[in-house]
Amino acid sequence: MRIGLIGDVEGEIEVVLDCLRRLGERGDVGTAYQLGDLRFGMGADPEGYLDTIEAACVRHGLRLDCVPGNHEDWARLDALWADPGAYGADGRLLPLPVREHVRMLPRGHRWTLGGRTFVALGGAPSMSVGQRPEGVEWWPTEVILDAHVDAVVADGPADVMLTHDSPGPPYCVPEVGAILHRNVRENPRQWSPAALAYAETGMTRMTRAVLGVAPRFLAHGHFHVAGEDRVRLPGATHETTVWSLAARGDDGTLRALDLDTLTAC
C-alpha cells in the first residue's frame, strides 16, 4: 500500500490541486496526508477553499487527512473539537470531518493502515509570534503542550509518526539543522529572543514525543525545506527514517511512501 505525503501548502489552492492531481494520476494511492499549514479556516473564502479541495479528492479518488500546523484557525478547530460529538466511545477526540473526503486529525490520534500503526501530532510555534494579530492570524493553542506529549508517549510506539514540527538536533534532517543553526547564530530574519525561545520550547516537546514513540518513519513539514536522513533514537533497536517536506509546490512538497518498506515510491 502506498500513501501520499504533502508539505505546507499555505492556503495556495493551485498547489493543493496539483498535488492531488499528481497522486490521482499514479493510480496506486488512495489516502494522502497533508502535514500542516493547510490554512484551515483562513483566507477570504475558507469554505470555498475546502469545497474545491473536496471536489478534487472526489475527482481523483482520494481521501485527504490533515495534520494541523501552526497556520490554521485554531479557535475554530478548538471549538469544533469541544463539541461532545467530537469524542469517541473511548473518550478520545475523533478526526474532524470538514468535508466528506477531508479530515483534520487531532493531536495524538492513532490508526492502522496497510499493516502499519500511525500517530499524528500536529501544531508548532509560529516564529512570527507577536507580529500577527491574535485571533486573526495567530492563536496560542497552535503549540503542543507537555500534556499532549505525555499522552502520546503513554500510548506507546508507532511505526509511522506524522507531525508538523521537527524534532531537534541530532534527530532532524541536516537541512533543518542548518536552518536552526542559522537562526541562532546569524538570525538573518531578526527573530526576537522571545520568538526563538518559543520555537525552541515547541521543538523540545516534539523531540520528547518522537523519542517516546520511537517511530520507524517520521515525516514533518513546517520548515519549508526538503530533506531526508536516517537516525538512531536512544534505546531504539531500529533506525528511524526522517523526511522533511518542502512547501508551496517546491520540489519535495509531494512524496509517496510505500508502507511495506517505509521507503519512497
Cell 500517530 belongs to 119
pLDDT computed for residue 190 by the predictor: 86
CB 118 within 8 A of CB 111: yes
Distance from C-alpha of 174 to C-alpha of 176, rounded to nearest angstrom:
5
Distance from C-alpha of 196 to C-alpha of 183, rounded to nearest angstrom:
8
Alpha-helical (H) ranges within 61-154 are: 74-81, 146-154
For 207-230, write each residue's pLDDT tens digit: 999 999 999 999 999 999 999 999
Cell of 202: 515547541
The tally of domains found in the chain comes to: 1
pLDDT computed for residue 155 by the predictor: 98
Average pLDDT over residues 32-41: 98
What percent of the chain has a predicted confidence (pLDDT) above 70? 100
pLDDT computed for residue 104 by the predictor: 98
CA angle 57, 98, 219 (to 5 degrees): 70
pLDDT computed for residue 136 by the predictor: 78
For 106-129, write each residue's pLDDT tens digit: 999 999 999 999 999 999 999 887
List the domain range (segments joined by +) for residue 11. Answer: 2-264
pLDDT computed for residue 51 by the predictor: 98
pLDDT computed for residue 184 by the predictor: 79
CB 193 within 8 A of CB 187: no
Cell of 40: 484551515
CATH number of the domain encompassing residue 120 = 3.60.21.10
For 49-101, write each residue's pLDDT tens digit: 999 999 999 999 999 999 999 999 999 999 999 999 999 999 999 999 999 99
For residue 11, give every residue at least 6 positions away whose Cβ sits within 8 Å of its Cβ, in sequence order, or none.
38, 39, 42, 43, 49, 71
CB 40 within 8 A of CB 104: yes
The helix/strand/coil state of 153 is helix
Cell of 258: 510505500
CB 263 within 8 A of CB 23: no
For 166-175, write each residue's pLDDT tens digit: 999 999 999 9
CB 231 within 8 A of CB 239: yes
For 174-202, write each residue's pLDDT tens digit: 999 999 999 878 888 888 888 899 999 99
pLDDT beyond 90 at 252: yes
Cell 486529525 belongs to 105
Distance from C-alpha of 48 to C-alpha of 65, rounded to nearest angstrom:
18
**Cα four-point dihedral sign 6, 106, 219, 226:** positive
For 129-149, write each residue's pLDDT tens digit: 777 778 878 899 999 999 999
Per-residue DSSP letters for 246-260?
--TT-TTSEEEEETT
